[in-house]
Structure 1
């Protein structure tokens, strides 16, 4: 969405004077006579009052909120990268309350009808035996899951959540153009749209008397809790996601957070004794209900798709045994069969004794001879859809085909009529969108959402609107881009505001058990701590090195009077493991001109161990557990990603320019550490994040001391080395206040090596690790110290027993501090051993080793 500059329009007699609806389409804002519909008038007057500067300011605020909240949708074919920000139009889609009431009745009828069809298809199959549904069409569908036939569903509502895509045809009547019954996408995005617009347009939102959404989400939580096999106060609900590579992972995490459920992946779960369990660090936790965001065929590799890595072996059996509820029920995908709309009018009369209140786009299944005759007679007026879709062959338009292609299609339909459906063409209604300098009419689609209740279905009072990227785009898909719209159901009177917070009506205790931590979550939190600390330490080292370089008349670090600078550059290579760098082959040349190598570490996203890859790894680990991070913390993550984009998209050509980006980056990294310290509950998950941070700081500090202090420098280089180390460890002020007799190596080691009260000292890191690991769950391990505790104790004891005077002594050649080198090498070994022991003891063994850029291969079909 580009910045809307509405000055030319606002200077005219009215905001909509230049707005011209598309021909032969119903327009949501203007009538066929050109008049503004009454329920739109207030919003347009409010925009006119805001003026161009006010509209632009609110657009920028909405864009900032979307970015800061990390609202993304993953596009597999997106050239800018897989994940891109959600694009939200500042102008909502308005629907009158009276009209919405009619829509609600029709949507509830349709949900009830589809629910009964689903119960029959996986139960008595009366519809097939009576001939109302053709057996060959539905039984042959890949979406019909035979292992789920006969499985009883708690509450007799297998269709717990349902979404319907609607549009108006040119006559102004609503039509259903798609049913979403697998794991309907959009609940969370609709809620986030509402959050953003209600904050950037507060007066407009309040005075429009918009129906609120909180009550609907209360119904979702109440329903899932009620359906659980065990009593409500003991029930446990999880949201099952394919993982961070899923196109709508943001929504999965957002819903889990908003509803108070645990976000899990298939690998976090296990079926034992006919029940589903969450594998946490210290024990197994019983799961009662699953809100799945994985397509049903992928949910159980034991009985469904054997090639799935997204589900849980034995999940179908847990449901069959009555120990688990899955929403939506496994097998719900059959209701998305493209041919089903052709039969719904007769099914509605048979099952409900009513006419379908909201009809579909007229649909014909060519397997029916009478329907086939109509299709062949009107072929050029219809669109044809193959039931066995090939890639890119979703919809065929016969009158746009050349003669040979049309002939091939006709032959295919005649030879395999049961493999095709045909539908009337539809011209979706248009809605106004802020595009560039204009209000433009764009084809629009409304996705509505329903959730089951005890006596029927509840409809979200609003939904997710979409307008197409261009006025002539035929399809409206998230994968094809376009703008999202908040949907406002406007009333004449204000509605009572509701909260999602638990009340007594929900039959849950005042205090509930906090969500447990799976090994996957603990693993990611551990690496978040490591990557955050690694990035912060690297930025500090880069800044000090740039400062030292700027103090010299030339950049060469290979001359005899540049021991400090050379040590800093070698520390960069050691800390980033970006060999050969300033140490291996070609180091002499790089030391003579260190700028290109440093700029590469700062801005080259392909450089292993460099700053961009470390920041990217931090973002990926955080994204994997975004349901565990607060909104404030996630805004800092977004800031860090923005700094990463600045460094890589427009790489600085000079170190001074790089410094302009490193300074605010260090502030964001420190803010991230502070927020995780102060805003996260200090539970098991936080312990692993903090362990990762302390372990990484210990390793990086040991690496720094080895590069800077083991080689012996003469005066005045040694004083410069001490000052550089103090700068990198942020201990310069403490040193100056504590040690007034000048700069000495012994005093430096006392402060940054052995001082247990200095948060930057090695001893402090090991002391904190000792406390943190002692508080981790032990499970069924034997009494006594664990392997992790033993390695921590060994490292901490070594530091405490070390004699500073011995560590600073030079070797016989007078060139190195051998004792210090040996001590730091031993601490390196203990740090690696601690990391390995934590991995072996707490993290899943079948997972691959964590790398700087670990990316899951699995992608779920949402």
Structure 2
């Protein structure tokens, strides 16, 4: 009977994760392999599709710089996990624990006594020549002498299945969040096997990390404020930053959100400045402080190093820890381990020759055709060079390059990586591809604790020997099987009493509130403009070139807002107003601004909310202006309005109505207020205001047609239309409703200034339609009466714009006549 492994080729010169060299299945794989061999290709593809669907619905991305897919490249996850029995894992974990302990001791020495350099156990060139050796950090003491709070090692198996370390990650190790997300997805794909194989949990790692940061924080007994510092949405692992912050229950911040006052770090919140005790950073060393480190950094916090030096904030990992991320150090670790820990190194590194030493360089050059040449420092930008792939002339050229700058090069043994099964939809078969794994350790009060699993990765295609997510690699979940959890105690947590209850987020960063505000504005702006463009486009299609009053009104309104360029024929103008990304007021341009604002506050949005936003982006990206027809454009606008309606629904029913939500709604209501006031004022200054066609258009634009017809069972007439759209407090599309809700939100923010909104509301309420009705008997006097209403509406629109500026100055830039308090967390 054919199976999914019929085309699977086992290379006897490499370790295979599922099959032994004689073709039999490894004992710990037997149950899983039996299940796979009993499945059909369609059944296996169903599991793979389930994984892909979860990746899409959860919005899991991995951004590759200069990737055509931009900042939304889907994370690649294979459906088959990597299985490791608990007894094998224990050996690896012991080696990782020792390695983390050693590297932590090396950091303490490098930034302290520097005995390793003085004794010649590590070359001074590899330390002082490293761009992440930070001289300003010399002599800084770390709580409990812990420099390395989290550590990761890239490991691989040799042909005998033994583990070797390929690289150390000591600066800002990434991937732990992806490992947890992988686990949650793959466990759903194979729930029965997950239970049967007794897979160990990953959660202890994150619990211990949170405990360690709290324990080492300089909080003097108060509840510490821990934040995760990100470089922003363009970072390749930004999804993970959001994921970790949410999972650990800590604020996600950017450098702009933090400030240093008197050697103390504060978070800029809506309620003032709140002291930060711990920064879990995902920002490279030299970018963290533009005052003392990299002066051109716009991502860090000016004065952060001074706060660290003063002991008022803990930064994890310690600044300068990236100095150990040098392949050149691997060959010196055995002696360093014997010197610092008084014991041999348990887990060997891949054979490495640093070319800065003459005898070592000569040995490496003598067998260069069998080695891989890599940069000695991460700041060097060149790809690994495989000696076996070079011609004799190219090898000679490489030797001359190495001899000119020997300290900058490392030669490493070419390892035949282990192989793992990867599912291929096109062939309906499994294929063996090169694999490696990243393992994580976290500092605890008893040393280092290793995550019971990790981030397994396979090469992008069969035959590739480089495993990298940047190069299109595929991740795998890692199951440590048939063991018991080593953690028996529940983590200690701070008891939350009645006095500690909160109804608001006390750590809402001003930047988050600002992006929520603009998310609201762009959501409403897209909705408004889409309705306006739809009214023009649908009439243009239906009339087929004939003139119509409502079309003229719609086009004049589009021109008033500058929604499209006016140097083309009408069809091209309307299409440009919808999909021309180069036109700043087009629908697609505003939609991209909406998506940008949403990406800045992704951690505040529900999964369903984010899926809707991701679908909006897919819609926008799928448009091809040069191929778009009028009917297709109208269909796109209709779908867009449905999606925007879903966003509005999420805002009203899916989000906690706290201050971040209030700024979202302030943005929506301000945008709607300005749009309606401008559009109605423009209409009232034309003869269309007294025509049924113009009034029908206004009801359509204000999404109030159904309400009007259900109430009046009559065609559109001036006074009831104006009453419904201007004064009806129950109509969510009336000006009265916008003013009422804006004033209510400002009061809930304890805002002591309404900037004239209340007075305008009273002027609006005082409109006397009795007078307007009497003027309707005198056609020459009616335009003046309508003009006076238009002036009021223009005042309302202008005040709305002013209010937006005032909110920005007070809450986002913290520039206001009211001083901002400094508050302890």
CA distance 1:396–1:824, change in 2 (3 Å): same
Query: What is the aligned partner in structure 1 of residue 255 from structure 2?
Result: 266
SS of equivalent residue, structure 1 residue 797: helix
**1:439 correspondence with 2:430:** yes
**1:72 correspondence with 2:65:** no
**1:758 correspondence with 2:738:** no
CA distance 1:200–1:748, change in 2 (3 Å): farther
SS of equivalent residue, structure 1 residue 738: helix
The answer to whether the 8 A contact 1:466-1:476 is kept is yes
The whole-number CA distance in structure 1 between the counterparts of 2:86 and 2:624 is 49
Query: What is the aligned partner in structure 2 of residue 798 from structure 1?
Result: 763
Quote how far apart the aligned CAs of 1:624 are.
0.8
The structure 2 residue matched to 1:144, chosen from 133, 147, 163, is: 133
Query: What is the aligned partner in structure 1 of residue 822 from structure 2?
Result: none
The whole-number CA distance in structure 2 between the counterparts of 1:650 and 1:432 is 43
The structure 1 residue matched to 2:607, chosen from 623, 631, 638, is: 631
Query: What is the aligned partner in structure 1 of residue 823 from structure 2?
Result: none
Quote how far apart the aligned CAs of 1:223 are.
1.1
**1:175 correspondence with 2:150:** no
Unaligned regions of 5+ residues in structure 2, if any?
816-825
Query: What is the aligned partner in structure 1 of residue 560 from structure 2?
Result: 574
Task: Give deviations 1:179-206, integer Å, cap 9, x for gaps.
Answer: 1111111111111111222223323323
Query: What is the aligned partner in structure 2 of residue 209 from structure 1?
Result: 198
The structure 2 residue matched to 1:414, chosen from 403, 406, 414, is: 403
The whole-number CA distance in structure 2 between the counterparts of 1:232 and 1:395 is 50
Quote how far apart the aligned CAs of 1:390 are.
7.6
The whole-number CA distance in structure 2 between the counterparts of 1:627 and 1:731 is 34
The structure 2 residue matched to 1:127, chosen from 109, 116, 122, is: 116
The structure 2 residue matched to 1:837, chosen from 791, 802, 806, is: 806
The whole-number CA distance in structure 2 between the counterparts of 1:545 and 1:346 is 77
The answer to whether the 8 A contact 1:72-1:84 is kept is yes
CA distance 1:20–1:682, change in 2 (3 Å): same
Task: Give deviations 1:509-566, integer Å, cap 9, x for gaps.
Answer: 354663422221111110000111112223333444455455x4x3225x2xx10122
The answer to whether the 8 A contact 1:75-1:83 is kept is no
**1:616 correspondence with 2:585:** no
SS of equivalent residue, structure 1 residue 526: helix
SS of equivalent residue, structure 2 residue 69: coil
Further displaced range: 182-191 or 468-477: 468-477
CA distance 1:579–1:507, change in 2 (3 Å): closer
Q: How does 1:254-333 map to 2 (within 5 A)?
A: 254-333=243-322
Say what the alpha-carbon RMSD is for the aligned residues. Answer: 2.7
The whole-number CA distance in structure 1 between the counterparts of 2:727 and 2:202 is 56
TM (norm. structure 2) is: 0.92
Further displaced range: 299-308 or 195-204: 195-204
The whole-number CA distance in structure 1 between the counterparts of 2:682 and 2:708 is 20
CA distance 1:55–1:799, change in 2 (3 Å): farther
The structure 2 residue matched to 1:43, chosen from 32, 43, 46, is: 32
The whole-number CA distance in structure 1 between the counterparts of 2:309 and 2:496 is 29
Query: What is the aligned partner in structure 2 of residue 112 from structure 1?
Result: 101
**1:377 correspondence with 2:366:** yes
Query: What is the aligned partner in structure 2 of residue 563 from structure 1?
Result: 549
Query: What is the aligned partner in structure 2 of residue 747 from structure 1?
Result: 720
Query: What is the aligned partner in structure 2 of residue 598 from structure 1?
Result: 574
The structure 1 residue matched to 2:686, chosen from 711, 717, 720, is: 711
The answer to whether the 8 A contact 1:68-1:639 is kept is no
Quote how far apart the aligned CAs of 1:747 are.
0.7
The answer to whether the 8 A contact 1:298-1:305 is kept is yes
SS of equivalent residue, structure 1 residue 83: coil
SS of equivalent residue, structure 1 residue 234: coil
Query: What is the aligned partner in structure 2 of residue 93 from structure 1?
Result: 82
CA distance 1:458–1:515, change in 2 (3 Å): farther
Query: What is the aligned partner in structure 2 of residue 14 from structure 1?
Result: 3
**1:509 correspondence with 2:485:** no
The answer to whether the 8 A contact 2:354-2:411 is kept is yes
The whole-number CA distance in structure 2 between the counterparts of 1:498 and 1:790 is 59
**1:240 correspondence with 2:229:** yes
The whole-number CA distance in structure 1 between the counterparts of 2:166 and 2:771 is 80
Query: What is the aligned partner in structure 2 of residue 358 from structure 1?
Result: 347
SS of equivalent residue, structure 1 residue 72: coil
Quote how far apart the aligned CAs of 1:78 are.
1.1
Quote how far apart the aligned CAs of 1:815 are.
7.4
SS of equivalent residue, structure 1 residue 431: strand
Task: Give deviations 1:550-592, integer Å, cap 9, x for gaps.
Answer: 5x4x3225x2xx10122123333434x22444xxx66xx52xx
The number of aligned residues is 805
Task: Give deviations 1:598-631, integer Å, cap 9, x for gaps.
Answer: 3333333333222222221111111111112222
SS of equivalent residue, structure 1 residue 823: helix
**1:343 correspondence with 2:332:** yes
SS of equivalent residue, structure 1 residue 20: coil
SS of equivalent residue, structure 1 residue 350: helix
The whole-number CA distance in structure 1 between the counterparts of 2:307 and 2:243 is 27
CA distance 1:799–1:366, change in 2 (3 Å): same
The whole-number CA distance in structure 1 between the counterparts of 2:316 and 2:157 is 30
The whole-number CA distance in structure 2 between the counterparts of 1:50 and 1:767 is 62
Further displaced range: 702-711 or 335-344: 702-711
The answer to whether the 8 A contact 1:806-1:819 is kept is no
CA distance 1:672–1:204, change in 2 (3 Å): farther
SS of equivalent residue, structure 1 residue 95: strand
Quote how far apart the aligned CAs of 1:163 are.
0.8
Task: Give deviations 1:386-412, integer Å, cap 9, x for gaps.
Answer: 335786523233443344443333234
The structure 2 residue matched to 1:671, chosen from 646, 653, 678, is: 646
Quote how far apart the aligned CAs of 1:813 are.
9.3
**1:527 correspondence with 2:518:** yes
Q: How does 1:676-755 map to 2 (within 5 A)?
A: 676-713=651-688, 718-755=691-728
The whole-number CA distance in structure 2 between the counterparts of 1:192 and 1:504 is 22
Q: How does 1:20-35 map to 2 (within 5 A)?
A: 20-22=9-11, 24-35=13-24
Query: What is the aligned partner in structure 2 of residue 536 from structure 1?
Result: 527
SS of equivalent residue, structure 2 residue 671: helix
